[in-house]
Structure 1
Amino acid sequence: MTDTERTFADARAWAHTGTSLVLAAVADLDEAGFSADSVLPGWSRKHLAAHVAANADALCNLVHWAATGEETPMYASSEERAAGIAKGPALPADELRSWLNASTLRLAAGLDGLTDDQWQHQVVTAQGRTVPATELPWMRAREACIHAIDLGTGTTFHDLPDGFLTALVHEIRDKRGLVDLPDGPLPEVAAWLTGRPHSLADAPELGPWL
């Protein structure tokens, strides 16, 4: 799949799918469940939920940039980004869940409010890439879909749309500079490329991505 085959409509649908999976994953977690380890080493589910919530808040900054032309970085600094993640474990489960829900609703409303012209406005990502605002749904789709799995409540790469997985595999393969991919089911290849647990035999170990 090429970049032109990953459509704007696709990305918006996948962002919605990922958001729904994240919110469903945390909907019934009590304090102990939220405090349990996530799939990511060294991160509890609270760390991860805070990261996803803070990411939505940060993307809202880029939505504001696209809507108004006022330069609004995702994060004021790397320290601010780290502080958002660290905030999670200190919050009670219900408060963290409320933050996650509210931030995703704000982001969805902001994206829905952009006009056709505003979607074409340039913004700058936390990695320093200048992109049109039309890239924001894809950025959110990656965060939400992959971290829904990382929460470790039962969602797997097999639950994600094939189109999303194909686009993800294409992007990460290019960023990692890989030519050949191991044989196996698409969800398992995507899991391997992102550095998550997978069932592929003899595939070389890759470091974490995202």
Structure 2
Amino acid sequence: MSLAETDLAAREALKARQGKGARYDAPNAPAEDLLLARRGTAHFARKLMELPDAELYAPSAVEGLTRAHVVARIGYDARHQALALEAFGKGEIYTLPVLEEQQLPSLDLAATLPARALRHLFQHSEVHLNVCWRDLTEEQWDREVVLVDGTTVPTRALPGIRAAAVWQGALDLGNGMRDAELPAVALLAAVRSRPIGKIGGS
């Protein structure tokens, strides 16, 4: 049984327990990428919880960045994708900023936040993004995102981009995670320069 099939069975069982009124992903949502992103988020959360507050300001596995920079980057990544999807749902365009460290000066400022605020940034942003994913309609999943280089991809590509970000982020925290712990798909996709663009209105 594939990862998606296992997750589908689990979700159907959960629906039966929760009953009517609960919100779920659209039937045509990219189940495997969403599962990979959600599992990566949970893994990042576990690695973050292992770190005492003081160690958040120690160097990460990325030269020149602290672990606080990594946490802020992951939080911003989720927050901007969520805002883009909210705007998409309203028929508006939200321009996603480039999230590379050298092009986002506010990342340095965020990395000085108290540990509690950093943890809240991560927690709240990932909940926000997950809600946005669940609110997307079948039609919206098949609309297009315009990337910075002018190319377009379906909205359904975004969970895969997020999956790469969170799995790479867990590795970047530098507190014991090994490359071997990365799922194969995420390992291939996990690059520090991720495609960022804007949500198209058509």
For Structure 1 versus Structure 2, the TM-score category normalised by the shorter chain is: 0.7 to 0.9
**Counterpart Cα distance in 1 of 2:52 and 2:101:** 29
**Counterpart Cα distance in 1 of 2:134 and 2:102:** 27
| 8 Å Cα contact 2:88/2:94 also seen in 1 | no
| Number of residue pairs the alignment of both structures matches | 166
Residues 29, 136 of structure 1: alpha-carbon distance in 2 compared, 3 angstrom cutoff: same
Partner of 1:44: 66
Among 141, 163, 168, the alignment partner of 1:146 is 168
Among 99, 102, 121, the alignment partner of 2:121 is 99
SS of equivalent to 2:40: helix
**Counterpart Cα distance in 2 of 1:51 and 1:76:** 11
Partner of 1:132: 154
**Residues 1-210 of structure 1 mapped to structure 2, 5 A cutoff:** 8-75=30-97, 82-125=104-147, 128-165=150-187, 168=188
- Could you tell me which runs of 5 or more consecutive residues in structure 2 were left unpaired when the two chains were aligned: 1-28, 195-202
Q: What percentage of aligned pairs have identical amino acids?
A: 28
After TM superposition, the structure 1 stretch with the greater mean CA deviation from structure 2, 147-156 or 135-144, is: 147-156
Per the TM alignment, residue 76 of structure 1 is displaced from its structure 2 partner at its CA by 8.4
Residues 31, 100 of structure 1: alpha-carbon distance in 2 compared, 3 angstrom cutoff: same
Residues 157, 78 of structure 1: alpha-carbon distance in 2 compared, 3 angstrom cutoff: closer
**Counterpart Cα distance in 1 of 2:43 and 2:100:** 27
**Counterpart Cα distance in 1 of 2:105 and 2:179:** 29
Per the TM alignment, residue 99 of structure 1 is displaced from its structure 2 partner at its CA by 0.7
Counterpart of 1:147, as a letter, is: G
TM-score by length of 2: 0.72
Per the TM alignment, residue 67 of structure 1 is displaced from its structure 2 partner at its CA by 1.7
SS of equivalent to 1:38: coil
Residues 21, 111 of structure 1: alpha-carbon distance in 2 compared, 3 angstrom cutoff: same
TM-score by length of 1: 0.70
What is the alpha-carbon root mean square deviation over aligned residues? 2.7
Per the TM alignment, residue 79 of structure 1 is displaced from its structure 2 partner at its CA by 9.6
| 8 Å Cα contact 1:59/1:74 also seen in 2 | yes
SS of equivalent to 2:145: strand
**Counterpart Cα distance in 2 of 1:94 and 1:77:** 22
Per the TM alignment, residue 126 of structure 1 is displaced from its structure 2 partner at its CA by 5.0
Per the TM alignment, residue 158 of structure 1 is displaced from its structure 2 partner at its CA by 1.2
